[in-house]
Amino acid sequence: VKRVDPPLAMHFENEKIDYDLFAVPWINCLLLRAFPLELVWRLYDTYFAEGDISKFHPYVCVAFLTAFGDKLKQMSFQE
């Protein structure tokens, strides 16, 4: 996130938002609990097409964060 969206990374630091709060569950369950099943199936299809899920999945997670970065930067930790 620091490389792709430094202001978002700084916002997380300022708000004391630890990536472990959301990133570890995202990594462990491959987003299955975070998104609707229809979306997850499409993601999994892409993961299998890519071949190496462990290298591609973190980029997907960062893409979600940066896609909603403007909104996230306006939110506090509690939100």
Within a 13 Å sphere around the CA of 51, how many CA atoms are in the beta-carbon half? 0
User: Global pTM?
Assistant: 0.77
Residue 21 pLDDT: 87
CA 65 – CA 67 distance, rounded (Å)? 6
Closest by CA to 59, choosing from 18, 20, 31, is 31
Tell me what the mean pLDDT of segment 71-77 comes to. 92
CA 70 – CA 54 distance, rounded (Å)? 27
pLDDT tier, 57 (very low <50, low <70, confident <90, very high otherwise): confident
Residue 23 pLDDT: 84
Residue 38 pLDDT: 92
Q: Tokens in use for 22? A: 């959301």
**Does 16 score more than 90 pLDDT?**
yes
Tell me what the mean pLDDT of segment 4-32 comes to. 90
